[in-house]
C-alpha cells in the first residue's frame, strides 16, 4: 500500500509529495509493532534507496515470516533526489534542520510537522544517511549521548561496524532523529557509504541488520544472520580528526577501515602543476580509519579522515 504522508503545493502547478509504502502481514491476529525505514532527507545521499528496495524484496519473498508493520519512506526530500541536491532545492534549506516543524507554520514547517506526525509512534525508526560526496563512511550508527542507554542495545542488532556516541548540540536539536527521540519514538541514525553513489555491499550488510532488529522486536520470524559486533565509541577523545594542511589533490595510500600504526602514510596532497608533494599525511596514532576522503580536491583544513584510536578497539 502506497500512501502520501505529506504534500505541499509548489508555486506553479506542481505538488511536492512525500510517500511511504506500508507492508503488513497477511492475515490477522499479528503483533502490530511497527518499524519505519526513512531515507532521502538529504537528496544527494542515495545509499538508503537500495536498502528500501532490498528490504521490501526480501520481506515479500518470505511474507509469512512478517508479523508486524514495516513502513518504508524512501524519499523524504524527493525534489532533492530528483535534482541531485542535498537540501530542498526551491527553498535552499537543509531538510534535517527543520524539525519538529509547525502545523501552523510556513510550507516547509508544515511538511516537517506532517512527516513527524506520520512516523511518530513507530516502535523503531531507522534514518539512513550516506555522508556526502566528499567522504566515505564505514557502516555506522550515530547516537546522541542523551539516548545512549536506550539506543546502544538496539544499534548492536543492526550489523554495523561502528557505533559512535556523540555529544548533544543545539544544531542537532532540529534534526529528524532528535525530534523523534525526544518525544519517545526511538530513532537510530545510520551513516554509510558516500553521497551520490550506492555501495551494494553496505546496503546488503544493513538489510541483514534490519532483519535482526525486526527479529528482536518480534516482527520477523524468518532466518537472520548473527550481527557483527560493532566497536562502540563513547568518548570524544576516542576519535582523531585528520585535516589537510594544504590545498591540492589528495591521493590516498590506504583503504577504508584499514588498521594503521602511528606514522603510517595515509596519503599525499599533491600539486599537479608543479609536481610537488605539498603534504605527506601520516597517521598521528595507532588506529582504524572509519571515515576517508573520497573527493580528491581539498582545501586547507578539509577533512581527510577520522581515525578511531586503537585503545577503543581493544575493549
Counting contacts by CB under 5 A, is residue 86 touching Zn ion? no
Q: Which three cell numbers stand for residue 240?
A: 582523531
Q: Which three cell numbers stand for residue 23?
A: 507492508
Complex with Zn ion: residue 195 or 305, whichever CB lies closer:
195
Least Å from the CB of residue 47 to Zn ion: 10
| Residue nearest to Zn ion as judged by C-beta position | 129
Q: Within positions 168 to 187, which residues make up the interface with Zn ion, using CB under 5 A?
A: none
Beta-strand pair 265-270/69-73: unpaired
Instruction: Determine how many CB atoms are found less than 10 A away from the CB of residue 15.
Output: 9
For Zn ion, which residue of 20, 67, 129, 306 counts as binding (CB under 5 A)?
Answer: 129
Q: Within positions 2 to 61, which residues make up the interface with Zn ion, using CB under 5 A?
A: 42, 45
Checking phi first, is residue 222 left (phi over 0); if not, alpha (psi -120 to 50) or beta?
beta
Gap between the Cα atoms of 269 and 248, Å rounded: 6
Instruction: Determine how many CB atoms are found less than 10 A away from the CB of residue 183.
Output: 12
Least Å from the CB of residue 26 to Zn ion: 35
Least Å from the CB of residue 196 to Zn ion: 12
Of 28-36, 123-131, 139-147, 296-304: span binding Zn ion (CB under 5 A):
123-131
Least Å from the CB of residue 187 to Zn ion: 14
Gap between the Cα atoms of 298 and 247, Å rounded: 5
Least Å from the CB of residue 282 to Zn ion: 30
Q: 274 Cβ partners below 8 Å, 6+ apart?
A: none
Complex with Zn ion: residue 45 or 161, whichever CB lies closer:
45
Please give the residue ranges that form the binding site for Zn ion (CB under 5 A): 42, 45, 129
Amino acid at each position: 500500500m502506497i500512501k502520501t504522508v505529506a504534500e505541499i503545493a509548489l508555486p506553479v502547478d506542481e505538488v511536492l509529495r512525500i510517500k511511504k509504502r506500508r507492508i503488513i502481514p497477511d492475515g490477522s491476529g499479528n503483533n502490530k509493532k511497527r518499524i519505519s525505514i526513512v531515507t532521502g532527507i538529504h537528496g544527494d545521499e542515495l545509499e538508503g534507496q537500495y536498502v528500501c528496495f532490498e528490504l521490501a524484496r526480501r520481506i515479500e519473498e518470505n511474507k509469512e515470516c512478517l508479523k508486524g508493520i514495516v513502513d518504508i519512506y524512501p524519499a523524504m526530500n524527493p525534489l532533492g533526489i530528483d535534482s541531485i541536491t542535498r537540501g530542498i532545492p526551491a527553498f535552499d534549506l537543509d531538510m534535517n534542520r527543520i524539525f519538529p516543524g509547525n502545523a501552523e507554520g510556513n510550507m516547509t514547517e508544515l511538511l516537517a510537522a506532517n512527516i513527524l506526525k506520520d512516523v511518530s509512534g513507530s516502535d523503531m525508526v531507522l534514518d539512513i544517511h550516506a555522508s556526502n560526496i566528499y567522504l566515505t563512511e564505514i557502516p555506522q550508527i550515530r547516537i546522541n549521548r542523551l539516548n545512549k542507554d536506550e539506543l546502544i542495545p538496539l544499534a548492536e542488532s543492526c550489523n554495523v561496524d561502528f557505533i559512535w556516541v556523540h555529544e548533544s548540540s543545539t544544531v542537532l536539536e532540529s534534526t529528524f532523529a532528535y525530534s523523534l527521540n525526544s518525544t519517545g519514538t526511538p530513532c537510530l541514525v545510520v551513516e554509510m557509504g558516500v553521497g551520490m553513489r550506492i555501495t551494494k555491499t553496505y546496503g546488503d550488510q544493513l538489510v541483514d541488520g534490519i532483519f535482526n532488529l525486526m527479529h528482536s522486536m518480534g516482527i520477523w520470524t524468518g532466518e537472520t544472520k548473527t550481527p557483527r559486533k560493532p566497536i562502540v565509541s563513547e568518548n570524544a577523545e576516542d576519535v582523531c580528526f585528520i585535516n589537510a594542511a594544504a590545498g591540492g589533490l589528495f591521493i590516498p595510500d590506504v583503504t577504508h577501515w584499514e588498521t594503521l600504526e602511528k606514522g603510517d602514510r595515509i596519503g599525499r596532497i599533491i600539486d599537479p602543476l608543479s609536481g610537488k608533494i605539498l603534504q605527506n599525511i601520516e597517521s598521528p596514532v595507532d588506529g582504524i580509519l572509519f571515515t576517508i576522503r573520497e573527493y580528491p580536491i581539498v582545501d586547507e583544513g578539509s577533512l581527510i579522515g577520522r581515525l578511531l584510536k586503537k585503545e577503543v578497539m581493544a575493549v
